[in-house]
Amino acid sequence: MKNEPIISLSHVTKRIGRNTIIDDLTFDVPQGEIFGFLGPNGAGKTTTIRMIVGLMSITKGQILIKGKNIKTEFEQAIRHVGTIVESPEMYKYLSGYHNLVHYARMVPGVTKERIDEVVSLVKLEERIHDKVKKYSLGMRQRLGIAQALLHRPSLLILDEPTNGLDPAGIRELRDYLRHLTRTEGITVIVSSHLLSEMELMCDRVAILQRGKLADVMPVQDFTQGNEQAQTYLIQAQPPEQAVAAMRDMEGIKEVKLAQGGNVEVTTERECIPDILEGLMKNQIRIYGVQMVSQSLEDRFLEITGGGPIG
């Protein structure tokens, strides 16, 4: 059981009119993984998520959730899924509690105790009986999480879950997702435009581009990249002289003046001591050296060839 994927997409295609929105997506997500979905605006992230949860029809291919086909066995398949859509829209004229009762009634086996449990989990006890229209965005997000967890799903799908959350809220969400995957073995699929967040959150990421799967890889591979050269930031005084001095040194792939009087240099790790020694010989004072790991964002832009991220 452990190795059977919680969700598996095979040759999933979505056409609307003549446009192919999603083109032949195939991937599996095993249990307990946090799987990230990246792609520029219009790449088809949201469409894919909507097909997974049955909000949109699938033109070709199939999606299996715990072995159940979302198209033909919708009720059995969706039972295992909890979803948080970008901004969780709740019934504003109902209290938070009644919103949860509403969703609880739609799944067999969700007890009153479970509702209370979830409410305390997202720390909404004090305000749960207030009308949702009086909630702040952060509270609505938390209520959104609560409704997704009510029925103890095996698969949690989050579409832009960090929208509208402040940094503390994002961090809380991240820790909480980690906790869920570790302790309850929940699988998470998350899409976000905050790449740095994805970097911290996900085990694996998939990059979608124009409806096609550009790449799927573990997030570490992603950020570390394949090449040996790394970029370092050197705080040196005066920086202009440092740049001039480094131009003549060996093993340097690129050097330029960075913001705040720093020097950005791309080189191999082994060359760093020699570079520093050379700079000191040139009477340049060094205050610090820092490795700049290539971020997901850089890699992302590299793969997708720039363009807006969303």
Partner 1 sequence: MVNLVLNENMKIYRRVRTWILVGLMAAFVLFVNFIEWHSDGKQAKGEGWRSELKQENRQYREILKQPKLGEEDRAFYQEQMALNHYHLDHDIRSTDGTMWDGVNGSASLMIVITIFVIIIVSDSVAGEFSSGTIKLLLIRPASRVKILVSKYISFLLFGLLLLITLFVISIVVNGILYGFGYMDLPLVSMTADGQIVERNMVINLWKTYMLNGISTIMYVTMAFMISSAFRSSAMAIGFSIGALFAGNIVLEALQRFVWSKYLLFANTDLTQYLDGHPFQEGMTLSFSITVLVFYFLVFNLISWLLFTRRDVAA
Instruction: Compute the distance between CA of residue 214 and CA of residue 38 in angstroms, rounded to an integer.
Output: 10
Min dist. Cβ of residue 14 to partner 1 (A): 9
Residues 127/135, Cβ–Cβ less than 8 Å = yes
**Which residue, 141, 84, 142, 85, is CA-closest to 118?**
142
If one asks whether residue 94 binds partner 1 (CB under 8 A), the answer comes out as: yes
Among 20, 76, 241, 266, binds partner 1 (CB under 8 A): 76
If one asks whether residue 161 binds partner 1 (CB under 8 A), the answer comes out as: no
Helices (H), 108-238: 112-121, 137-149, 167-184, 195-201, 219-224
Among 10, 28, 74, 309, binds partner 1 (CB under 8 A): 74
If one asks whether residue 301 binds partner 1 (CB under 8 A), the answer comes out as: no
Instruction: Compute the distance between CA of residue 69 and CA of residue 75 in angstroms, rounded to an integer.
Output: 10
Instruction: Compute the distance between CA of residue 190 and CA of residue 137 in angstroms, rounded to an integer.
Output: 19
If one asks whether residue 137 binds partner 1 (CB under 8 A), the answer comes out as: no
Min dist. Cβ of residue 279 to partner 1 (A): 57
Closer CB to partner 1, 78 or 242, in the complex? 78
If one asks whether residue 78 binds partner 1 (CB under 8 A), the answer comes out as: yes
Helix (H, G, I), strand (E, B) or coil at 248: coil
CA distances in angstroms from 145 to 162, 167, 205, listed in the order given: 11, 17, 22
Residues forming a β-bridge with 82: 156
Closer CB to partner 1, 92 or 179, in the complex? 92
Instruction: Compute the distance between CA of residue 263 and CA of residue 36 in angstroms, rounded to an integer.
Output: 33
**Which residue, 145, 150, 195, 211, is CA-closest to 173?**
145
Min dist. Cβ of residue 243 to partner 1 (A): 51
Min dist. Cβ of residue 83 to partner 1 (A): 5
Min dist. Cβ of residue 132 to partner 1 (A): 10
If one asks whether residue 93 binds partner 1 (CB under 8 A), the answer comes out as: yes
Closer CB to partner 1, 40 or 88, in the complex? 88
What is the enclosing helix (H) or strand (E) of 240? helix 239-247
Min dist. Cβ of residue 144 to partner 1 (A): 8
Binding mask 7-36 for partner 1 (x = CB under 8 A): ---------x--------------------
Q: Please give the residue ranges that form the binding site for partner 1 (CB under 8 A).
A: 16, 47, 50, 53-57, 74-76, 78-79, 81, 83, 85, 87-94, 98, 101-103, 105-108, 147
